[in-house]
Chains A and B, each alone.
Chain A
């Protein structure tokens, strides 16, 4: 077993012992169930809350409503909770000094960063796969999903955007070596993306499109080729931030 695998095993063991696995399983399973459930129950709830005698003509819920819930809940709740869960990956080790012994034993600094990013990537993959599978199966139980376009490509956009935020969080967390550093940097990045979004031209390249357009992909209003630039840019930025974190950590005084 080489040191990369050994350190990755430690990351996995730690995530299990600190209940990250349990939290991710529970939160993203609930979100998976919640999406079709909310779509199904919303018209019924609204009818019940209407004043007596008022008539509300709501269309019958469909598979699209369930997926709209998915693209509302997972980025808004799931991704935020996920970033918070993984926002202290480096700062906790740097504050406590647990890495010093291992680094003086010859553990490469790049190994630390890449394993930490990879474990976060594995968890994000698990989270999205879990939430997606449950939503897919539950939606298929109630409605026909054949009318939806590029279901898998749409979810891959959200997945890629999540990876970018994870890479930025890791960099901020390593650079500032405080638990709030990663979150603050990610927040600033999101704010700047929203500011860019005011200008229509940014829609052709902004990574934010990967989070905003999946509902339109499902309806067929946006096709995958429209998102090539944001997609490539997002993946490129993700790799850049992982590289930047490694470079920065190599120069960090411990």
Chain B
């Protein structure tokens, strides 16, 4: 395990922002940390970076205990804040050179590593100053600086939240590539992003972990669910199908039906034909996390 979080509590005044958090992150995985805005995700990340002191518990990263202030464990971490701020008077290469100096990287390695990373994040041909960068370009530069010293853990705080769909896709693809050389721990409140690239997911709600699971296991749990839309409203369709054996519920004017095997699927199709319900679309359930979240939160 590259990260071990044991019983972490963080209190601001009399308010518990994090309460008894336990989390283990395996190496070379993408660990999604989901939760609504204000759930405490950034606070936990700052605790992992030694930027905030813990009220209780302990965090170990790559075998090194995290301490508040100048923690040695940061040598194993690359960090991308939610809104990365850079010196606007530098260009991407100059900024990465400054980062290379700060991380004590041998000078002979700079050029090759910086070239590699600029290529990875698609900024190799950009020579303009950072002050002219878009939000997406800043996020990509943020990932490049975070990966510079080949960290064992890459922590990204909401890397896709403020980006357009194209920017989000680019960042997710970069994070997926980064998995080859590091472990990615990223927070998001966009559940579909986590579903798209994560191996593991944990959910933080009001300072507590309410759910932690491998995504493959989650997929198994949901592999028998199908989403139907009809030419009639889902409510009416469900009313007509009330006498069938299949488990179903309504979500956003779609009918979610549990059909565990081929036979059940055939029977259900027959029922639809008999009741003259015309199917507009049908696809397997993909919004697993959303389902889990709704279930957990009631």
Contact = CB atoms under 8 A, between A and B. Distances in A.
A105 B84 contact: no
Contact of B74 (A1, A105, A251, A254): A105
Contacts, number: 76
A253 B12 CA distance: 12
Interface in A80-107: 96-98, 100-107
**Interface residue tally of chain B, by bracket?**
20 to 34
B165 interface: no
Given A100-B51, A101-B81, A101-B84, A108 B99 contact: no
**Interface residue tally of chain A, by bracket?**
20 to 34
Interface stretch (A11-19, A23-31, A66-74, A213-221): A11-19
Contact of B102 (A17, A97, A106): A106
Interface stretch (A2-10, A45-53, A161-169, A190-198): A2-10
Interface string B73-113: 01101010101111101100000001101111001000000
Contact of A101 (B69, B70, B145): B145
Contact of B49 (A96, A104, A109): A104
A105 B103 CA distance: 6
B174 interface: no
A98 B70 contact: no
Contacts of A7: 98, 101-102
Contacts of A251: 69
A3 B85 contact: no
Contacts of B107: 1
A98 B90 CA distance: 12
B96 to A, nearest CB: 11
A96 B101 contact: no
Interface centre among A2, A7, A10, A108 (most CB of B within 10 A): A10
Contacts of A104: 49, 51, 74, 77, 79
A13 B75 CA distance: 26
A120 B142 CA distance: 29
A107 B84 CA distance: 17
A177 to B, nearest CB: 15
Contacts of B212: none
Interface in A173-225: none
A101 B146 CA distance: 8
A107 B69 CA distance: 11
B159 to A, nearest CB: 14
A100 B87 contact: no
Contact of B52 (A3, A13, A103, A253): A253
B285 interface: no
A97 B86 CA distance: 8
B87 A10 contact: yes
A106 B51 contact: no
Given A10-B87, A106-B75, A97 B81 contact: yes
13 contacts: A1-B107, A3-B102, A7-B101, A17-B89, A98-B85, A98-B86, A98-B87, A100-B85, A101-B99, A103-B51, A104-B51, A106-B75, A250-B69
Interface of B: 46, 49, 51-53, 69-70, 74-75, 77, 79, 81, 83-87, 89-90, 98-99, 101-104, 107, 142, 145, 148-149
Instruction: Rank and list the top 5 A-B pairs by shortest CB-CB distance, nearest first.
Output: A6-B101, A17-B89, A104-B79, A97-B85, A107-B102
Given A5-B101, A102-B99, 4 more contacts: A101-B79, A101-B84, A101-B145, A104-B77
